[in-house]
Amino acid sequence: MQNNVLILDFGSQYTQLIARRVRELNIYCEIHPFNKIPSNLEDFKAVILSGSPSSVRSENAPKVDLSKIRGKKPLLGVCYGAQYLAHFHGGEVAPSNIREYGRANLAFAKSNETFLEGINIGSQVWMSHSDTIKTLPAGSIKLASTHDVENAAYRIDGETTYAIQFHPEVYHTTDGKQLLENFLVKIADVAQEWTPNSFVETTVEELKAKIGTEKVILGLSGGVDSTVAAVLLHKAIGDHLQCIFVNNGLLRKNEYDSVLKQYHGMGLNVKGVDASDRFLNDLAGKSDPEQKRKSIGKVFVDVFDDESKLIDDAKWLAQGTIYPDVIESVSATGGPSATIKSHHNVGGLPDYMTLKIVEPLRALFKDEVRRVGASLGIDAELLGRHPFPGPGLAIRILGDITAEKVAILQEVDAIFINGLKEDGLYDKVWQAGAILLPVNSVGVMGDERTYEKVVALRAVESTDGMTADWVNLPYEFLQKISNKIINNVKGVNRVVYDISSKPPATIEWE
């Protein structure tokens, strides 16, 4: 029995947050679709049922076979999970008289319950549901209520089965982490032993067993994810790793040369491939964001196919794919959830490529990648580098892509990023960049009329990219950067600042 937690996903927008909160407790967890329960249930010590946009009263309600879980393993139902345990086990779920969404406070909390240790009356919780539990299932004991929700938490007597109507994983539930710790550590007796060091140790052994003496090709991007993946693989297989750094013509100013130099200094076996013309030619005339992403992904794969043929006996293609990439590209449930956008390094390889894929960071969030990188001894400055999209500046140029537009945006981006560093603001921002808009605006320079491009600056704060808020950069800084851009970048006469959060916007504009 390993100290892992299984999260069964019913399609909730918060499922990934459950995973994050569990991992913050130094407990490893995995998300699996509700209809694809893993066969290795013995590897999981506790199970959590997620929320869902569906109603348990619907004919098409997601249903799961819990016969091998309930009463056999500690089980926690969250929101839909709580309603599911009630509705299909003798309780009653009905439409709410009011829409139960947003902040609420516990008006009742049963004393002397391990599940509620450290959680008192008045504690704030976050509700997000349109149904409510009218009657608890047989053998249940009510544990908590709010002013509007009678059965906000309950447990089933004789089992380690618990259920809550609110969401402990969101920030607005102030004691949510404590509640998860009570359930997982104090009730389920899950050991808190999943740390960056343990991840490195386990992953290195898995990579050794999986790859053996076969050769691996890894595409380095200059970012944190691919760098950590490279160092992790190098630790596992040494010289059997061949890294390739592709210049797609869409990198930041001077990034190709500077990053190559940095990687060589780290002792990695890296080959630089300048495929700028190949990418730009394939992008010519494409304006749709998805077409651009897929074009870049296709050329990216083609380049690796060509390079792999130059390496004798290459069997694997390694990628720095991380969890948010997977989440945004593929429905967590395999159901009707909307795909936000496709990612160039998610979804496998075309049939004509014979390389197998290895993704050592696929289960990690961005902040976890950085902690793993620190445990590997990677330079703090490199680990602190802002995320940069795989398609590069192509998705920061709205509309079609030309070499001239790339050059303009590279100059603007360099002024913005260097300015953040010079003013001590870079490390206070999670991700920053500039966007070239497909509009011209009238301006005046030297008493003459101009009709030139508009650029938008974007800076956000976040933990893992799943949610983000715009950074309130000082007006004086924005004024200085705006003047510097307009005065130094020919073709730009207007600068705006993006103050949209994610959601409803995304971090990138495309």
100 catalytic? Reply is: no
Catalytic residue, candidates 169, 181, 411, 452: 169
b vs e for 117-138, b when ≥16 Cβ sit within 10 Å of the residue's Cβ? eebeeebebbbbbebbbeebbe
Paired sense of beta strands 356-358 and 314-318, if any: parallel
Q: Is-catalytic flag, 167? A: yes
Candidates 178, 164, 177, 127; CA nearest to 148 is: 127
Give the CA angle between residues 55, 38, 7 to the nearest 5°: 50
Note the pLDDT of residue 223. 84
Using alpha carbons only, what angle is made at residue 52 by residues 178 and 77, rounded to the nearest 5 degrees?
A: 40
Residue-by-residue pLDDT tens, the chain, 510 positions: 578 999 999 988 788 889 989 999 999 998 888 988 998 999 999 999 999 988 989 988 899 999 999 999 999 999 999 999 999 988 999 887 766 677 899 999 998 999 999 999 999 998 887 788 999 998 999 999 998 899 999 999 999 999 999 999 987 899 999 999 999 999 999 999 999 999 999 999 999 999 999 999 998 888 889 999 999 999 999 999 999 999 999 999 999 998 888 888 888 999 999 999 999 999 999 999 999 999 998 998 888 788 888 888 888 989 888 876 665 554 444 443 334 344 444 444 555 567 788 999 988 888 899 999 999 999 888 888 898 888 999 999 999 999 999 999 999 999 999 999 999 999 999 999 999 999 999 987 776 788 899 999 999 998 767 778 999 999 999 999 999 999 999 999 999 999 999 988 889 999
pLDDT at 351: 57
Backbone dihedral angles phi then psi of residue 308, each to the nearest 5 degrees: -65, -30
- Cross-strand partners of 445: 448
**Does the annotation count 240 as an active-site position?**
no
Q: What is the predicted pLDDT for the residue at 443? A: 87
Pairing of strands 356-358, 75-78: unpaired
Choose the catalytic residue: 167, 234, 240, 343: 167
**Count of Cβ atoms closer than 10 Å to residue 349 Cβ:** 15
β-strand partners of 205:
none
Structure tokens, 176: 């949510």
pLDDT (0 to 100) of residue 337: 39
Catalytic residue, chosen from 29, 79, 100, 181, is 79
